[in-house]
Amino acid sequence: MRSDYGDGVTMNDPLPDHPSPDNPTGKLVLLRHGETEWSKAGFHTGLTDIPLTPRGEDLARGAGQLVADYDFSLVLCSPLERARRTAELAGLHAEVDPLLVEWDYGGYEGRTTKDIREELGYDWSAFTHGVIRGKTPGETVEEVAARASRVLTRVLPALVDGDVALVAHGHFLRILTAVYLRLAPRFGAQITLDAGSVSVLSFYREQPAILTWNYGLELPLAPSES
């Protein structure tokens, strides 16, 4: 599989030589990047590369404290600055994987759900109705899920040797979790994820399971808008 993921980044991603193991003992730890000005405002932030806010940097350091006791055999992060900086502040030595970029929102990049709904006149959501072309082509939910599936073909074998961390983005990690749980990608709409949060996936009696979800230094008072 050869694909382009923004800024001319091209990735050559062959499938592994061996299938995924059965019931690996390692944990899959998901870190959503810390807060940015756009995530704070509820803007859809796909391939736009913007930095963390000071609070976002604090959240990233807090995430690092939460994962300090894990034994990581592999750490991967999105190439976008907000994810790379989160990994750095969390004390993780991460390898960049272009497959971990956020959903390409196309023409809805930089816009809020409220704004899009007012324009369309109905209760739009990216998971239900999809996105449109813009400066970038945009992606369907299924295309994001396909990227997530390829990440998991690499990650699951590594869980035999220890824990794995993925530092990435809210919508992408929600869809990846749906794929991990062997559910439809749109299940991701039902599991919100806050900036700077940590979630842990594992296997329980041979079944993929959520060990903890959306855990952070603060309990959310409302669902994340981005």
Going by the annotation, the residues of the binding site for substrate are 45-46, 82
Rg (CA), the chain: 17
Nearest alpha-carbon partner for 29 in 79, 81, 98, 87: 87
Please give the DSSP secondary-structure letter assigned to residue 137.
Answer: -
Q: Of the residues 33, 44, 169, 171, which is catalytic? A: 33
Q: Whole-angstrom Cα distance, residue 80 to residue 102?
A: 9
Q: What burial letters (b/e) apply to 27-53, b meaning 16+ CB within 10 Å? A: bbbbbbbbbbebbeeebbbbbbeeebb
Q: Of the residues 102, 109, 139, 169, which is catalytic? A: 102
Q: Whole-angstrom Cα distance, residue 103 to residue 137?
A: 11
Q: Which residues are annotated as a binding site?
A: 45-46, 82
Q: Is 81 a catalytic residue?
A: no
Q: Is 206 a catalytic residue?
A: no
Nearest alpha-carbon partner for 129 in 154, 107, 98: 107
Please identify every residue annotated as catalytic. Answer: 33, 102
